[in-house]
Chains A and B, each alone.
Chain A
Amino acid sequence: MSEPKTYSRLNAGRLWANPASRALFALLLVVLIGCIFNADGAFFKLGTHRDALRQSSVFGLLACGMTLVIIGGGIDLAVGSVLALVAVAFSLMSIHWGWSPWLCVPICLCLGAACGSASGCLASWWRIQPFIATLALMVFARGLAKTISGGMKVSTAVKNVDGTYRYVDVPALFRFIDSRILEGNLSVVTVIFVVCALATWIVLARHRWGRHLYAIGGNEEAARLSGVPVNFSKLSAYAASGLLAAVAGLCQAAQEQQGDPEAGGGYELTAIAMVVIGGTPLTGGRGGIGLTLLGVLTIGYLEKILSINAVPEASRLMLTGAIIVMAVLAQRKRRS
């Protein structure tokens, strides 16, 4: 074997080899860009950061679930549709039927978990490729959302039998979720996101199931022959992804004060981009929630910077695409 390299080169190399450092570097780069293009100082206002976090939270929830599934060697394309389905269901139950939040929230969470479990069942026991299985569920959940909403948004304008509309109040839970705390400096959805992310982090790092997922993603056959319950673990990952998508749906409905069956379109791709930029490889077996959080912040801040600078839409798309490609290429230089 060759002699070890000189110490200084080895240090920098080892730093770059760590995916967390690379993700952090990307985030700091974005923050630097924000400092330079600060839109007349808007970037330095506390409100801007609070807003950047708020608008990333829904995507962040999806990205957490996506991380679990990707680590286990799969992918979940259905999360955007499940978000819409839950948003519609939540609005129907809360706004139109006036049910108590203690009833609505658990039902919605179960709905999300059920959708996820359906994906998981197809992908694990029936051995359908995750891409196809979750694609099928993506279409199905979207169709279900449109069916139960009648194709219209479920809002505070409730249609009477005679065709006129009456206006009901926005439910207290909605108003709470969409509110701010800490003297208006932190959005409640951000708190919800952080709590969910922490819970996912702990489970992934410390629970037996988390270790199972890493093993399955890393080498499914070796995991199976080591006694890991492969099918059950994979199903649970998809169920968890559905559950987090349901939380995202609750937040989305509250922030729009309505349930939109068209909501969440394309959100799954943004979630995947956040996971990938964070450094979790799509092949599975590696990565973690911490990396995904860095990816969430990177994309979230990038969007915010483009927004406050009123960059035209076409340029935004090109810039975001270019950055995703660069981030993925940078990930490649792991072992020579």
Chain B
Amino acid sequence: MKIGYSTLIRFSLAAAFSLLLAGCGQSTSTPQTASPPERSLKSTFTIGMSQCNLGEPWRVQMNEDIRKAADPQPGLTVVFKDAQNDTLKQRAHVEEFVSAGVDLLIISPKEAQPLTEPVAKAMNAGIPVIVLDRRLIGDRYTCFIGADNKKIGRAAGEWIKQKLGGKGTVVELKGLMTSTPGQDRHTGFREGIAGSAIEVIFEADMKWLEPDARKEMESALSRFNQIDLVYAHNDPGAHGAYLAAKAAGREKNMLFVGIDALPQEGVAYVSQGILSATLQYPTGGAEAIQTALKILKGESVPKEIVLGSRLFTKDNVATGGQVLP
């Protein structure tokens, strides 16, 4: 079969394109060459970090927290790979880290089922694995670090119960109710306000999006004359609700509570007086590096570390919030 000019062009383009795609996993620093880790003798370590996506600012913050915790450590290099929310890509990243022979793997998986096996393989190859934020199936990993959304929701509910003096009308703006964080922050909240005279008069799914939260809040405002507090499952949602209330001139008549407490978002809103309170949904980035260092030094670490949360209000925002029990 004669290979024409056009076929040659097409083939080279395809080859170039696949090379490009393979490299698209955004390696920000060069990985070490493969060699079996002999930790006790080494003084420089490479950690592979597999992030499921960088579309959410919260995850950008997670990587940022990891970077901030790793930078001051001499001899510690972190290689970041972004799977762009593609499970297969994340699997490939894990396998690449294993064959590159990293000293430790940190992973925030997109889904539990497809990534359990590759992580187990990493463990078999002698690479310790720290799992962040979303769980895997079984126990083939070294340590899981995550926050408890239900606990945070409950804390929010209790703070609200106390702030409103046990009674009042509340609008709940929910995150995507098909996701676990949404469900947990909802059930936790309801547990928190249980036994009080607080009534949730309007609830809607705003899918974590600010414009949608604003839209739902407008509906709530047009229906109800008396709203005491708005509880949104994330800070953008609370902000959207605030803007809706502000446009109606009613923002001073109610309180707004959100979750996430990113420094440039929720914490900023609290400082500016937009939100009454926000609860931190910690990324666990700093804790991941601390735990990693312990592992690399050969110390033992707990199987599960549940991250604590902080409550930020106007009074304590400057001092870094109040640690929740």
Contact = CB atoms under 8 A, between A and B. Distances in A.
- A and B are interacting partners: yes
Interface of A: 39-40, 42, 45, 47-48, 51, 54-55, 150-153, 155-157, 159, 165, 167, 178-180, 184, 187, 252, 255-257, 260, 262-263, 303-304, 307-308, 310, 312-313
A151 B262 CA distance: 14
A42 B264 CA distance: 36
Nearest to A151: B60
A55 B60 CA distance: 29
B204 A307 contact: yes
Contacts of B35: none
Given A45-B222, A255-B211, A155 B243 contact: no
A313 B207 contact: yes
A285 B195 CA distance: 63
Contacts of B60: 150-152
A178 B236 CA distance: 17
28 contacts: A39-B223, A40-B223, A42-B223, A47-B218, A48-B219, A48-B222, A51-B222, A151-B54, A151-B55, A152-B57, A152-B264, A155-B264, A156-B272, A157-B263, A157-B264, A157-B265, A157-B268, A165-B263, A165-B267, A167-B268, A179-B247, A180-B247, A255-B211, A255-B243, A256-B239, A257-B243, A313-B205, A313-B207
Interface string B239-251: 1100100011100
B203 interface: yes
A280 to B, nearest CB: 25
Contacts of A178: 243, 247
A45 B222 CA distance: 7
Nearest to A158: B264
A303 B215 contact: yes
Interface of B: 54-55, 57, 60, 177, 202-205, 207, 210-211, 214-216, 218-219, 221-223, 236, 239-240, 243, 247-249, 263-265, 267-268, 271-272
A307 B177 contact: no
Q: Max chain A CB contacts within 10 Å: which of B207, B211, B248?
A: B211
A252 to B, nearest CB: 7
Contacts of B54: 151
B219 A256 contact: no
A301 to B, nearest CB: 12
Q: Max chain A CB contacts within 10 Å: which of B177, B236, B267?
A: B236
The 3 closest A-B pairs by CB, nearest first: A157-B268, A313-B205, A307-B219
Contacts of B211: 55, 252, 255-256, 263
Given A167-B271, A167-B272, 9 more contacts: A42-B222, A47-B222, A152-B264, A153-B236, A153-B265, A156-B272, A157-B268, A165-B268, A255-B214
A30 to B, nearest CB: 16
Contacts, number: 89
Nearest to B204: A310
B268 A47 contact: no
B299 to A, nearest CB: 30
A184 B249 CA distance: 10
Contact of A55 (B57, B215, B264): B215
A61 B214 CA distance: 19
Q: Max chain B CB contacts within 10 Å: which of A54, A157, A167?
A: A157
B264 A159 contact: yes
Given A42-B222, A51-B222, A155 B265 contact: yes
Contacts of B240: 256
A115 B276 CA distance: 41
B272 to A, nearest CB: 6
A252 B240 CA distance: 12
A263 B149 CA distance: 25
A167 B274 CA distance: 12
Nearest to B218: A51
A155 B221 contact: no
Contacts of A167: 268, 271-272
